[in-house]
Copies of this chain bind each other. A is one copy, B any other.
């Protein structure tokens, strides 16, 4: 299963395919996100896009989450961060020093979920994994 890369230009099309209108504000938000990709906060987007209302930014972020275009992850203290989903199924590394978000896929994870599935009663419907690191840059510095 090769990682599926999502090209930024397709992002609006994905929203359109889901039956949403392509509006000015949505275009603005998506355009801003295309220039990001690293971890960012929703409130930060509001600051960088003052022409779009806060509610609309949060609404658009929610749509992109539901569409799988964005991922929401949590720092160790629980603070939320968003990141562009570059692959269809992946997990994140978050540097606890500088906040940089990376991602990885690991087949061991699939095996882990199968192993857990065999151990517990009930049916696995999803999971969340965050790996907290000190990134190479922060180690060097």
Contact B112 A139 (CB under 8 A): no
Distance (whole angstroms) from the CB of A44 to the closest CB of chain B? 17
Contacting pair B123 A133 (CB below 8 A): yes
Residues of A within 8 A of B (CB): 72, 74, 76, 78, 80, 93, 95-96, 102, 104, 106, 108-109, 111-113, 115-116, 119-136, 138-139
A128 to B91, CA, bound (A): 11
Give chain B residues whose Cβ lies under 8 Å from the Cβ of A132. 124-128
Among residues of B, the one whose C-beta sits closest to the C-beta of A113 is: B131
Contact A122 B95, CB 8 Å, known A76-B128, A128-B74, A128-B128: yes
With A76-B126, A113-B131, A126-B132: A120-B108 Cβ-Cβ less than 8 Å? no
Measured in the bound complex, the distance between the Cα atoms of B23 and A33 in whole Å is 50
Contact of A133 among B76, B104, B122, B129 (CB under 8 A): B122
- Known A106-B112, A106-B119; further 16 A-B contacts with Cβ < 8 A: A72-B78, A76-B128, A78-B80, A108-B112, A108-B115, A108-B116, A120-B131, A120-B133, A121-B135, A122-B133, A122-B138, A124-B131, A124-B133, A128-B128, A128-B130, A129-B130
